[in-house]
Every structure is written in C-alpha cells, then in structure tokens.
Amino acid sequence: MLSVRAIGNQLFSKNFANLRVMSHPISLKIQKAKNEIIEDHDIHNMKLGRPLSPHLTIYSPQLTSMLSISHRITGMALSGYMMALGIGAVVLPNDISYYATMMDGQFSSVTLLAMKFVIAFPLCYHWTNGIRHLTWDTGKYLTNSGVNNTGYIMLGISSLLTAVVASL
C-alpha cells in the first residue's frame, strides 16, 4: 500500500515530467514607454462636442428638496452654536449671563430681537422638521400631498415657535 506522500510524488512526477520539454526560452526587448496624455473626462467630452451634464440647472426648486437642504444647514448651524458655546465657556473669563447683560445694554431692542431670531430659528426649524421626519418613520403622510402638506405645516409651526422663543 502506498502512502499519501508516495502517491503525491508519483502524480507530481507524471504531470510535470515533460515541463522542461514544453518550455522554451523567452527574450525580452526593452522599449521606451509611450508618452500618452491622459485626458480629463470633461476635456474629452468638450473635444467631442458633448454638453456637460446639467444636473442641478435643469431642476426647478421643490419644497421637499429646499426643506431637506435647509434642515442640513440648520443642523450645521446648531453644531456651530454648540461649539462656540463650549469654547466660550472654556476660554472666556465670565459666564454667559455677564455677556447677555452686556449685550442688553449695548444694542437696541430691534437688534436684540433679530439676534435672538438668528439663534432661535435653526433650533425651532430643526426640531419641528425632526418631528416631521419622525411621523414619516411611522409610515404616515408619505404621499406626495402628505409630504407637501406636512412641509407647509412644519414651516408655519417653526415660524410661530421661533417668534415665541425670540420674543422671550
């Protein structure tokens, strides 16, 4: 009885016995590389007379896309506010009440109301739009008319909420 090693050696020697006979010498020539200029995709299409893809230029603004973009922008604004408050709490010598009192004496009531609106709007808008998205997660208002109606309702509620918060 042959061992596994012996069987493997027999198979190896039979399959590769003629390997030298089949091989032949290969000669390689050294050639200089071709200097191919690789064109940019846009330059190539311009040479062929193809127009650029119009992407955003052909779409008219829709309520849903504008609300989505503004939701992202208000989220970034809120992140910026939080970073500024955190850095201010660490770096500035006084607490926030000192600076609020200082601003109250230096600015007119209309300017203060505008500043409060700028601070309150991203919070109120992002919060109400987040609630709108949570209602979508339940499977409600996912039709075209439902999405548009909830968008208008959200804008109204966030505007009222911003007015109330800014007037405090």
| CA distance linking residue 155 with residue 74, whole number of Å | 13
| CA distance linking residue 110 with residue 118, whole number of Å | 12
Q: For residue 124, how many other CB atoms are within 10 A of its CB?
A: 21
What domain range is 88 assigned to?
62-167
Q: Is 12 part of any domain? A: no
| CA distance linking residue 57 with residue 78, whole number of Å | 29
* CATH number of the domain residue 87 falls in: 1.20.1300.10
Q: Is 11 part of any domain? A: no
Q: Is 68 part of any domain? A: yes
Q: Is 123 part of any domain? A: yes
- Provide mean pLDDT across the span 30-35: 78
Q: Structural domain tally of the chain?
A: 1
Q: Is 134 part of any domain? A: yes
pLDDT tens, 109-165?
999 999 999 999 999 999 999 999 999 999 999 999 999 999 999 999 999 999 999
Q: Is 5 part of any domain? A: no
Q: Is 140 part of any domain? A: yes
Q: Is 114 part of any domain? A: yes
* pLDDT the model gives residue 153: 97
The tokens 């190539």 sit on which residue?
Answer: 44
Has residue 12 got a pLDDT over 90?
Answer: no
**Structure-token pair, residue 158:** 């966030």
Q: The pTM is what?
A: 0.66
| CA distance linking residue 72 with residue 79, whole number of Å | 11
Has residue 61 got a pLDDT over 90?
Answer: no
Please state, for a pLDDT cut of 70, what percent of the chain lies above it. 85
